[in-house]
Structure 1
């Protein structure tokens, strides 16, 4: 049944009052009105959301705790227009999509440092971007739409910024030490987690250490076929184990400046019994007896930052800079035991490794000045990073009868690299001016960024042996990305905002130089040194209203994309060539358009009897087309909305929150599965039961509804016999207990 509240949710909203838990810094309470919340990502300056010319979401620590956010999918649970896919086999959380664009076209960064790319090839190799422990964060900011003018190539679709905790978040006047612990449980994956945070401070020095650990099993779905084989719909058995560390040491030589040394790392291991791949395999005529996956992911970051609040120089009033190194690595081992088509017992061992190491520096400066009646805030700076990328697949096949070992594991002859060891260098200069006119009734925000991108593949014997005669290509690209935004406070609490932003994405290393040859199956992939950058033009127009009782923001957007890079385009086939040849090509012109709404109502502002009651809602409708092929884009989510009713007192509160989606309507292929619309209710509660002690509790999918998220099922056929494999969990509970001193 299609949810009846979807259209109604467009006009109502809930602004939940700030309520700091024991784990939430005492000074991190968020203004009850979203439009008053401060964002930094949208303009690289601290501005209230009401003063920025584009749509941005800010999710603070209190909200993360209150909504029991565990992973990226939980993070955007109530954020229509932003979605996160998840796999059903062994690889879990996938990419973040903003307004229909995802993958490496969305920049994800932690404290200004980009998270590693994703890379996937074949059935046993999938490096995702789920590298951040959300318990180490104090805030998440999501900028919707192209942001290349401030953040460069990776921000074609938008930006997700993770901001980690600082010592000052826990140390108030007269308090020079803090210690807190947090324990939790989540039934949908039998997950247990615990964490501890300690902070100390003095006149000049302060520090913070935060550690956490998680462990659990596979995430439930609503499939009930538990057999081993292709018809299995229940989740594959898994075990998860993860841990993280965040340490910061801050030295403040004066009240106006701080040096900040950060060491951060996280590690996760997942073991999977891939039961749905057991049995007879028609493509190889072999029978898989067992298939196990052992996946390991690590990220470590070292950075030194310097913030100066009062520089008092002709070129800047304030500045911040940082230098950093970050290492990210994904290693995936697959062990398969099978009976071959000839009846031989065989053990196959495959290894996949994706390693990305980056060093970089950035500096941002701010200068305020006046020209006549105009007030200016000039923001400018430099970004530089150098990244080394390594990827390799290796493996062997062992005949269990004779013990003979071979590196030929069809269709590969190991070891192989799908692109050569490569080094990329990205450097950029950006400048932005925020111009205030008519006593700040009008705010103009022009800006421009110049990026230079260099790709330098290295001599790689492994790649050369697998791709004879192919010479990897160098790439050098320079791009200029302008933007212009405006905010007009035209009547009391009403304002209009508009924004134009140019976006671009450099040709990625794996598309430029992706190559492998498979003689057994008669195909090859060749590099394309002539790829052009992907570009976009993004337009946004919206209206906002902010009063003590109501917050409202409605925006329409139109994004046009040119020269989309599509991997695996057939460029030659027999009899024209001996093999079927694939290559990445600039093939697509695309357009994505939509409308987004957020609103909040504080009912107590209208009547004393309603004191403590509030509403919140958000909604998104978007539509997109591949203009080259004249067909709908598969990445576009159906219309979605969230709606909640909450009651809050000083020490406790409760909320009934709903998530809604329409039936998926426009599909590029009628044979694809179109998930039905749904409405799912969640119950959230929080209670500060003692000084420095709090409980957060949630029941998700309260009515135990069977439903599918479109971001999880793209490409699944409507005739599939295992559709229930892709369902979201049924009724589940989650809770956390936090105490602090």
Structure 2
């Protein structure tokens, strides 16, 4: 395995038990206000009321007030967006936007894409949970196809993480900042702590954020603590993580800035996998002990240049970024078993998945006028090279004799499930925001051209495991247009509409997947003829932004073509010696729905109600596989959130409800096998905050106040309705979270 990057070496030295800081400057305390600024939607700073698509902006203040610790917490009150969580050892799973998830949703940090997810078998699952949310000042979620600006992997939408800057803590007359933060969460007995320091002068400024977190397994409502597959209580875990964010900013003059960023994140989990113990019917072995040791890291270094007063013919502002990012997941499993023949064995497995990314991104802006039309042109270049490697290794040791073999059925180790691959992407994009009718109408056309090239390498490990299979190169070009419009027809009301084309290049692991298992009689073969997945997305909405009420209502219809389905059976005996599987373009799907969001400032209606606010959101969506009319299991049931809060300046309190409807119609998992459909539920959370001294704030939350037993669809979809371990997938009961922050 490669050595740890320099930033993680620095992290290991600096990560004492101290964590990210007190609240930074925020755009707006009202999470639903339409004058909140978004950058991700159009790659320019625009108010939410000015963009022709649905965007959620979650600022630092809201992250702190809602005690957000992970991705699932992040979307707790965001219907239409969901995050699944695992129940064994691998943590958070899929992030879905409007029913589409996995690598079809782009997740990025400061414009740099987070590593892909990849899983194969029971002992290998690399997820995309690589970001410490306490290093962020803002999260933006763009819903629906966004390939016209962000290319492949933005088929379902974009989740953009924006990290903190020195300027978030410094102001005129203040050239230094120090913040400390400590917290606890009872649902996983988690402790976290951290420190933030910032300094600044006339030309130079810097920021350092270090953090540490540790805890145990996340609780649920399962109470069967057996040591076999009937277990519903969580498997015992020990979790530990640390993070680093360091920035140095140099401003040669008022118009430009150079920014050097080093960021690292590291997580380790040790699991006693009790749910995998006991007699195994498939192999007739008896497992006496199994432990999982999972470790993942992400490190990046980037150099960015920004200029606000260029004198170029095609640009008056620019942002250019050069970066490198390394992400790695290593998962080790040690299993003690007695084989069907009565032989005592120790079986060791190791899974490694790492992705190295180099890239250059340039975004330029030019404001100009043609007659009575005002234009805001955004254009640029996005190019990167990703190198992806995956390997599974292992051995079996006969305890009585010490004999060692690399044959651990069904594998002969080491193996690669796809060859080492390099993926080059070059893209050009352009977008024009056109104002006409004295600013009442805004048109936003845009287009992006992507060139994708996959170059695999047939190394000895892949060749030995896949005799006769030659990996193939793939090149593809895709054009992704979009058109949006916003019409302001009153002092407070506006309509918006958009069309966007989305695409996703054929994934390297599906194109060249190779796996031969003679023991169980199957093989997977490459498919060089895979076509890109594509989508056409339409959205129509209405917004209102008055003195007391901010509200939006949107309907969307997304049609997806040529979905790539892995593991399609293409041949079977007697036509072939074994069953043969291959990735194919087979699926055509439609997902449509309605989303609404709003906030009422009661103090604007009457002075006696000052401080009271009411906030709510809802999402209803349905999805259908057009091949057979079956509903899509990835689409969440109707969900809503509703909260009432009182803000008294130094303190505030709020009661927030999360509600989900029962999924109405789901296909059978197999003929005669019904899918588990969780009942609808309503969960109440109580949140409070208190600034009890200058620079000192306490945030407290009691989640699931009524201790309800419930399932999230994103956790439980795809389960057999007759499974005896359904309680294993329940969410935690009543839990307490608190955070104490100091700032000087």
Q: Does 1:362 align with 2:361?
A: yes
Pairwise CA distance, 1:630? 2.1
* Cα distance in 1, alignment partners of residues 62 and 474 from structure 2: 43
* Cα distance in 2, alignment partners of residues 420 and 322 from structure 1: 30
In the other structure, the counterpart of 2:730 is 727
Task: State how 1:184-583 maps to structure 2 within 5 Å.
Answer: 184-583=183-582
SS at match of 1:234: coil
In the other structure, the counterpart of 1:13 is none
TM-score (norm 1): 0.97
User: What 5-or-longer segments of structure 1 have no aligned partner?
Assistant: 1-20
In the other structure, the counterpart of 1:699 is 702
SS at match of 1:188: coil
Pairwise CA distance, 1:442? 0.2
In the other structure, the counterpart of 1:11 is none
* Cα distance in 1, alignment partners of residues 216 and 27 from structure 2: 33
* Cα distance in 2, alignment partners of residues 520 and 646 from structure 1: 61
Pairwise CA distance, 1:25? 1.7
- Once the two structures are superposed, residues 444-496 of structure 1 have per-residue CA deviations (whole angstroms, 9 ceiling, x without a partner) of 00000000000000131111111111110100000000000000011221100
Pairwise CA distance, 1:715? 1.2
Pairwise CA distance, 1:95? 1.7
TM-score (norm 2): 0.96
Which of 661, 665, 675 is the matching residue for 1:672? 675
Pairwise CA distance, 1:292? 0.5
In the other structure, the counterpart of 1:738 is 741
SS at match of 1:491: coil
How many equivalent pairs are there?
721
- Once the two structures are superposed, residues 328-357 of structure 1 have per-residue CA deviations (whole angstroms, 9 ceiling, x without a partner) of 000000000001000010000000000100
In the other structure, the counterpart of 1:683 is 686
SS at match of 1:189: coil
Pairwise CA distance, 1:31? 5.4
Of structures 1 and 2, the one with the larger relative CO (CA 8 A, separation 6+) is: 1
- Once the two structures are superposed, residues 48-90 of structure 1 have per-residue CA deviations (whole angstroms, 9 ceiling, x without a partner) of 0000000000000000000000000000000000000000000
> Is the Cα–Cα contact under 8 Å of residues 27 and 36 in structure 2 kept in the other structure?
no
User: What 5-or-longer segments of structure 2 have no aligned partner?
Assistant: 1-19
Pairwise CA distance, 1:30? 3.9
* Cα distance in 2, alignment partners of residues 34 and 239 from structure 1: 40
> Is the Cα–Cα contact under 8 Å of residues 554 and 595 in structure 2 kept in the other structure?
yes
- Once the two structures are superposed, residues 146-172 of structure 1 have per-residue CA deviations (whole angstroms, 9 ceiling, x without a partner) of 000000001000000000000000001
* Cα distance in 1, alignment partners of residues 709 and 394 from structure 2: 40
* Cα distance in 1, alignment partners of residues 269 and 633 from structure 2: 29
* Cα distance in 2, alignment partners of residues 456 and 648 from structure 1: 57
Pairwise CA distance, 1:594? 0.2
Pairwise CA distance, 1:310? 1.1
Pairwise CA distance, 1:312? 2.5
Change (3 A) 1:27 1:533: closer
* Cα distance in 1, alignment partners of residues 618 and 132 from structure 2: 27
Deviates more, 1:42-51 or 1:483-492: 483-492
* Cα distance in 1, alignment partners of residues 158 and 168 from structure 2: 24
SS at match of 2:714: helix
Pairwise CA distance, 1:29? 4.6
* Cα distance in 2, alignment partners of residues 368 and 631 from structure 1: 48
> Is the Cα–Cα contact under 8 Å of residues 22 and 693 in structure 1 kept in the other structure?
no
* Cα distance in 1, alignment partners of residues 421 and 313 from structure 2: 41
* Cα distance in 2, alignment partners of residues 515 and 560 from structure 1: 31
> Is the Cα–Cα contact under 8 Å of residues 21 and 209 in structure 2 kept in the other structure?
no
- Once the two structures are superposed, residues 179-234 of structure 1 have per-residue CA deviations (whole angstroms, 9 ceiling, x without a partner) of 00000000000000001000000000000000000000000000000111111100
SS at match of 1:153: coil
In the other structure, the counterpart of 2:10 is none
* Cα distance in 1, alignment partners of residues 92 and 740 from structure 2: 25
* Cα distance in 2, alignment partners of residues 22 and 690 from structure 1: 16
Pairwise CA distance, 1:27? 5.5
Which of 701, 718, 722 is the matching residue for 2:721? 718
In the other structure, the counterpart of 2:138 is 139
> Is the Cα–Cα contact under 8 Å of residues 26 and 61 in structure 2 kept in the other structure?
no
> Is the Cα–Cα contact under 8 Å of residues 588 and 629 in structure 1 kept in the other structure?
no
SS at match of 1:104: helix
In the other structure, the counterpart of 1:608 is 607
Pairwise CA distance, 1:629? 2.8
In the other structure, the counterpart of 1:8 is none
Q: Does 1:167 align with 2:170?
A: no
> Is the Cα–Cα contact under 8 Å of residues 28 and 36 in structure 2 kept in the other structure?
no
* Cα distance in 1, alignment partners of residues 148 and 128 from structure 2: 23
Structure 1 outlier segments of 4+, above 2 Å: 26-33
- Once the two structures are superposed, residues 703-741 of structure 1 have per-residue CA deviations (whole angstroms, 9 ceiling, x without a partner) of 000000000011110000011000000000000000011
Change (3 A) 1:33 1:128: closer
In the other structure, the counterpart of 1:67 is 66
Pairwise CA distance, 1:313? 2.1
In the other structure, the counterpart of 2:647 is 648
* Cα distance in 2, alignment partners of residues 26 and 87 from structure 1: 35
* Cα distance in 1, alignment partners of residues 352 and 126 from structure 2: 8
- Once the two structures are superposed, residues 583-630 of structure 1 have per-residue CA deviations (whole angstroms, 9 ceiling, x without a partner) of 000001000000000000001111111110010000000000010132
* Cα distance in 1, alignment partners of residues 100 and 132 from structure 2: 23
* Cα distance in 1, alignment partners of residues 116 and 681 from structure 2: 32
* Cα distance in 2, alignment partners of residues 362 and 30 from structure 1: 32
Change (3 A) 1:32 1:59: closer
> Is the Cα–Cα contact under 8 Å of residues 603 and 612 in structure 2 kept in the other structure?
yes
- Once the two structures are superposed, residues 669-698 of structure 1 have per-residue CA deviations (whole angstroms, 9 ceiling, x without a partner) of 161100000000000000100000000000
